[in-house]
Amino acid sequence: MAIDIGKISINKLRPKWVIMPYLFDQILHFMAMGVIAIWMNSQFSEELLAPHPFWIVLIIAYLLVTYVWYISERILTYANLAYREEVVNQIWTRMVTRAAFLSVLLILLGWLSPISLSPVLFVSLPYFSSKYRLRILFTDLAVSVGGLIFIIWTL
């Protein structure tokens, strides 16, 4: 919370300073999570997270490739109003698509069952109607591969 209060204060002083405070904010959040994880590891037995670490990592990866990337992309592209508008308008289809891309990668590695892709059948892909179709396709693919790298690196 202190991190966010500091970010809000900086935004009031420098409203046009967007990307660097966001990146700094994210670094501070990850550092805080790391400190908490180290503290938890020293306070609790390893059995706390030992039964299902894969699922915890998987949940975090899906969160990163869906909502966290949505927020990041929206902030990182604040200067391109047309692109940012598409990001906002396609929030759900792009999040589901990135999750599906990550699922396909995990299925190819044998870590998930193909049945996990069944919800995707009900989502239309955002790439056909978009003015930025190649950019968002490559962005979503790259983010999904990044999620896979996160999973592999973490496990």
Same domain, 62 and 134: yes
42 with 78, same domain? no
Query: pLDDT digits over 13-46, tens only?
Result: 776 777 777 788 788 877 887 787 777 777 776 6
Q: Does one domain contain both 66 and 140?
A: yes
Same domain membership, residue 59 and residue 26: no
Q: What is the pLDDT of residue 127?
A: 82
pLDDT at position 98 is: 94
Residues 132, 134, 136: CA angle, nearest 5 degrees: 65
Residues 62 and 98: their CA atoms lie apart, in Å, by: 9
Domain ranges, residue 96: 52-155
* pLDDT interval class at 147 (50, 70, 90): very high
* Count of domains for the chain: 2
The pLDDT score that the predictor gives to residue 119 is 66
98 and 24 within one domain:
no
CA–CA dist 98, 69 (Å, integer): 10
pTM of the prediction?
Answer: 0.76
- Chain segment 77-134, per-residue pLDDT in tens: 988 999 999 999 999 999 999 998 999 999 898 888 877 676 666 667 788 888 899 9
Question: How many Å apart are CA 33 and CA 27, to the nearest integer?
Answer: 10
